[in-house]
Structure 1
Amino acid sequence: MARDFVFVWQPNDGFPKADVDGLLARFAADGPFIEDWRCATGQTRPGDNAYVFGQGAAHRCIFAVGTVAGPLKPRQPNVAYRYLPVRIEMIADPDAGGLIDAAAIRTLGDGALKSIRRSGVSLAAPIARGLDRLLASRPILEPAVVDPVAEVLVSETPEMRLHRRLERNPAAARAAKSWHGCRCQACGFDFEQAYGDLGSDFIEVHHLKPLASLPRDQTTLLNVVTDFAVLCANCHRMIHRLPDPSDLAALRRIVTYQAGHQT
């Protein structure tokens, strides 16, 4: 099961704001990426959750989240610190309050994140779940750019390519699972109940908003509560066979009807 760790950013400790601006530009250009983060502890495992916390009054916020992407790297000659690869999956400018600003953090309790001064500190489960709830309340920014004349190397409409990109967006998946949980919203299947630790935190995310309603060639804000659903692999495949893949209620009716007519 994935655990939760905090990684700190101290703008006056060899990592100026200009470097963070570089991370923001990198994410805007290429999407999620792996960054080596200074870290002294070896307690993390690949797949653990990472919350990047800005230190100091001017930047006190969670401004990036992601996952640990590998083991702690060996110490290099003449380098005081070791580094841990972290896959950055969501990031926002700390000058603008980041993903979760200081006021929102305080709603989790007066002591939330207060004593954390170094990277790789384990985060208490109630605080981590609280941060995830705050993340889930944010709109998801997704470029809704569809080029109907672009060369396509597979037999797939531009709309379907966009649909798949939305469903595979790690920020959308993380927020949707945090809000909706990991039980299939069509049939009720629970991977952890069926497979134990192997199925922990596993579910697929489906984009519900009709793509025809998205404005083209501009950015669209998506609501994690109304625009996404969590489905098991079977139900996810089946909803894409419906005339309207956004009709979750129709899929539920089919599942309920079939369950009632099994012999």
Structure 2
Amino acid sequence: MAAVVLGWNPATAFGAGPGRTDFAAAAATVDSTGLFGTRWRVGRGQRLDLGTDVWLFAQGRHGRGLLGHGIVASAPQPGAALPARLGLLAGIVFDLLLTPGDALPAELLTASVPDLNWNAVRSTGTIVPAQAQASLRSAWASYLRSLPVPEGWQGAVDPTIPLPGSMPQDTLRQVAVNRFEHDPDAVQRCVAFHGTSCAACGLSMQQIYGPAGAEYIQVHHIVPPAAIGPDYVLDPVSDLLPMCPNCHAMSHRGAPDPYTPAELRQMLASSAGPRRAPNPLPGAVATPDQLSALADAERLREAPENRREAAEDRREAEQIMNPRPNTQ
């Protein structure tokens, strides 16, 4: 799929036509909602298919560099506020807009993406050569990872969400997600109350992956979508539950409503799936010795014959260690 770079001077208005605004307002909208839609003037002969990747390139004395990413949401067409001879208006939806001072510098782009002439980017759009798209995505993703994670970004809660622009649009698919499950404040309050173990299977990511999994867990919204009205107010404690990625994904396979944690536990039990590893210290990682001791204790509790054998072994050991005195 094609990709295009749109040149923009930060000293001018952002967008064109009915969506024209200032950049600060557009960036604030992206921060609060995740998206900002506007119209953009493109060349008459410019073909931009729906879903085409759009990169925003800042120009002028304010500092040149990549400033944002979006996609084409509506094909170029004539606009009432723009004579056809001057170009067409394309609908663009931006999913990331950096502050001008945080743009990926043009010098780095020239070095890492030499197949595109960054000194000749047009405001009406410059097509990114096919051989340059991979290097552009790589440079963009690496640069974004070097910046602090934006507060409130969904990826701060769910790291499986790719960075905007890091993957081609045709490798992604639209997934309807519950916005409450990606609300950082709601997630934090839910985990603070319920802890970081999965409410369905009991899995602790730290217990499995060690320090890398510490405090990581997804959350699941248990209220069926049909029950959510316009006046609905989220209660992070009663409406959200921590779930590991596996159980969370399975819960959303329920139809018409998601599977409940109880239903997931029943599935696990009926399928004889892996049992939860015992953990004697809630919120901590058990040592191998502790797990071995608990496993031995579990076997003794479940098998009566083992209990008898263990008792006989103890008696024999006591007789060897403490032999009865000879009274003859």
**TM-score relative to the length of structure 1:** 0.54
**Residue pair 2:76, 2:89 contacting (<8 A) in 1 also:** yes
> How do 1:67-82 residues align onto structure 2 when only pairs under 5 Å count?
67-77=71-81, 80-82=86-88
Q: What's the C-alpha RMSD, in Å, of the aligned pairs? A: 4.0
> How do 1:106-121 residues align onto structure 2 when only pairs under 5 Å count?
106-107=110-111, 108-109=113-114, 112-121=117-126
Q: Which has the higher contact order (CA 8 A, sep 6+)?
A: 1
Q: Deviations over 1:114-135 (max 9, x none)?
A: 2122323211123322220012
Matched AA of 2:60? G
Aligned-pair identity (%): 16
**TM-score relative to the length of structure 2:** 0.44
1:105 paired residue number: 109
Q: Which runs of 5+ in 1 are unaligned?
A: 147-161, 179-198, 215-235, 245-263
Q: Deviations over 1:141-194 (max 9, x none)?
A: 254699xxxxxxxxxxxxxxx54xx54x5x53642x47xxxxxxxxxxxxxxxx
Structure with greater strand percent: 1
**Residue pair 2:69, 2:165 contacting (<8 A) in 1 also:** no
1:34 aligns with 2:37: yes
Q: Deviations over 1:55-113 (max 9, x none)?
A: 1242311101111111113231565553211111121012x142x22221121239632
**Residue pair 1:76, 1:82 contacting (<8 A) in 2 also:** no
Matched AA of 2:36? F
SS of residue matched to 1:117: coil
1:49 aligns with 2:19: no
Matched AA of 1:60? R
2:90 paired residue number: 84
**Residue pair 2:48, 2:75 contacting (<8 A) in 1 also:** yes
CA distance in 1, matches of 2:214, 2:41: 41
CA distance in 1, matches of 2:35, 2:153: 18
Larger CA Rg, structure 1 vs 2 = 2
1:93 paired residue number: 99
**Residue pair 1:4, 1:48 contacting (<8 A) in 2 also:** yes
Structure 1 position 49, deviation (Å):
0.8
Structure with greater helix percent: 2
SS of residue matched to 1:59: coil
CA distance in 2, matches of 1:62, 1:109: 15
Aligned length: 178
Q: Evaluate the alpha carbon distance shift between residue 237 and residue 73 of structure 1 in structure 2; reply closer, same or farther with a 3 A threshold.
A: farther
1:3 paired residue number: 2
**Residue pair 2:35, 2:93 contacting (<8 A) in 1 also:** yes
| Aligned partner of 1:201 among 168, 171, 174 | 171
SS of residue matched to 1:89: strand
